[in-house]
Structure formats: structure tokens, C-alpha cells
């Protein structure tokens, strides 16, 4: 049974990440601040909670969803307080809150299977975060006319994705199954990123 303490801690981690996201945007320069406000970055704690906290599948997914909800709430509540407006007037707050459901399911399942599966699902689960960074960087290159001022941040995001993949797979990084898993996930991530671009533009 999922312990309330873990749920509270997941929410607290999310709230802190959401707060730090807004602070990071203030600190980083204009060409880099999107690195703080990144779906890929928010997926890191949601994935790690599922990966390293020993829970069953359903519990892992619930904890990841709670964490992402905390990220969204922490970000938009802090932003509303800082700018003196009502959070209820912000469409994007509710949009991203809705996105925590599919995002949490993906992060929770990936984290769970990365510690419990030994078949092809393990390859996909292990490379989720790397593919998230790669797909988020690539979608900005595809739509570079909107993101040209962020080119250095985009390159950093792509480099992070490649580095995460190499560190995670080590000597197996160039093997067919590992590369295929990364390509499948990155392609799926690109489709998701394109949908987000259309819905939020």
C-alpha cells in the first residue's frame, strides 16, 4: 500500500522543483533560461522517484504524477505571487496540470520498468530521460525561427541528452538495441513535442 509519507514527499519535491524553475529563469540569461523551464527537466524527479523508491507499478505512477503536479503548482503559484495576479486566470497553469497525467504515467512506468524488467522494455525505460532532452532540443531546431535566440541553450540540451545516453549505456551505447530504443523514444518524443508546440503556440 502506498504510504502517505511518500506522497507528501513527492509533492514537496515537485513544489521545490517548480519554485526553482521560476528562480532559474530569473537567474539564467535569455538564451539559456528555457533550460530551467523544461518538460525534460521536470521529468527527472518524476522518473527518479519511481526508479529509486521501491513501489509497485500503480504506486510508482501515482508518485510520479503527484511530483509533476507539485512542479506545476509550485511554478505557477510562485509566479502568481511574484506578479500579483490570480492563478485561476492563467490558462497555461491548467493546461500543464492536465499534462501531468500522461507525463506522470510515462515517467512512473519508465522508472518502474527500469528497475524491474529485463526485456526490451528495459531498454526503452532506461533511455527515457535522454530521449526527452534530445526531442525537446530537436523540436526547437525544427522550429528554429521561434527559438533562434536560444541556440546555445538548445545545443546544451542536445549535449545533455547525448551525455545521459552514453553514461547510461556505457560500452553498449553503440549496440543496435540500445540505439533503436533511443531512436524510437526520440521519435515519439518529437511527436509529443510537436503536439505541445501546436497547442501552446
Domain ranges (residues) in the chain: 1-116, 118-201
pLDDT at 87 over 70: no
Q: Which of 64-78, 109-123, 179-193 has the lowest mean pLDDT?
A: 109-123
pLDDT score of 89: 65
* Top-confidence residue, 164 or 118: 164
Q: How high is the pLDDT of residue 86?
A: 64
Q: Does residue 42 surpass a pLDDT of 70?
A: yes
* pLDDT tens-place string over residues 93-111: 889 999 999 999 999 999 9
Q: Is the pLDDT of residue 43 over 80?
A: yes
Would you say 123 and 178 are in contact if contact means Cβ atoms under 8 Å apart? yes
167's grid cell: 553514461
Structure-model confidence comparison of residues 20 and 120, the more confident one: 20
| Closest-CA residue to 58 (of 11, 105, 13) | 105
| Tens-digit pLDDT profile for residues 117-156 | 777 888 889 899 999 999 999 999 999 998 888 888 899 9
> What per-residue string of b and e applies to 141-161 under the rule 16 or more CB within 10 Å gives b?
eeeeeebeebeebbebbbebb
- Calculate the average pLDDT of the chain: 89
The dihedral over CA atoms of 132, 134, 136, 142, expressed in degrees to the nearest 10, equals: -150
Amino acid at each position: 500500500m502506498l504510504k502517505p509519507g511518500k506522497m507528501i514527499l513527492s509533492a514537496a519535491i515537485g513544489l521545490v522543483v517548480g519554485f526553482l524553475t521560476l528562480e532559474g529563469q530569473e537567474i539564467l540569461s535569455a538564451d539559456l533560461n528555457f533550460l530551467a523551464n523544461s518538460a525534460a527537466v521536470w521529468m527527472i524527479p518524476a522518473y527518479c522517484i519511481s526508479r529509486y523508491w521501491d513501489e509497485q507499478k500503480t504506486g510508482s505512477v501515482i508518485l510520479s504524477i503527484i511530483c509533476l503536479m507539485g512542479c506545476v503548482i509550485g511554478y505557477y503559484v510562485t509566479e502568481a505571487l511574484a506578479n500579483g495576479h490570480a492563478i485561476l486566470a492563467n490558462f497555461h497553469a491548467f493546461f500543464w496540470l492536465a499534462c501531468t497525467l500522461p507525463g506522470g504515467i510515462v515517467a512512473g512506468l519508465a522508472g518502474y520498468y527500469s528497475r524491474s524488467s529485463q526485456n526490451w522494455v528495459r531498454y526503452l525505460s532506461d533511455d527515457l530521460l535522454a530521449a526527452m532532452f534530445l526531442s525537446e532540443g530537436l523540436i526547437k531546431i525544427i522550429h528554429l525561427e521561434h527559438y533562434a535566440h536560444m541556440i546555445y541553450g538548445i545545443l546544451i540540451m542536445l549535449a545533455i541528452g547525448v551525455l545521459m545516453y552514453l553514461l547510461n549505456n556505457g560500452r553498449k551505447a553503440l549496440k543496435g538495441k540500445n540505439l533503436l530504443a533511443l531512436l524510437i523514444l526520440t521519435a515519439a518524443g518529437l511527436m509529443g513535442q510537436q503536439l505541445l508546440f501546436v497547442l501552446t503556440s
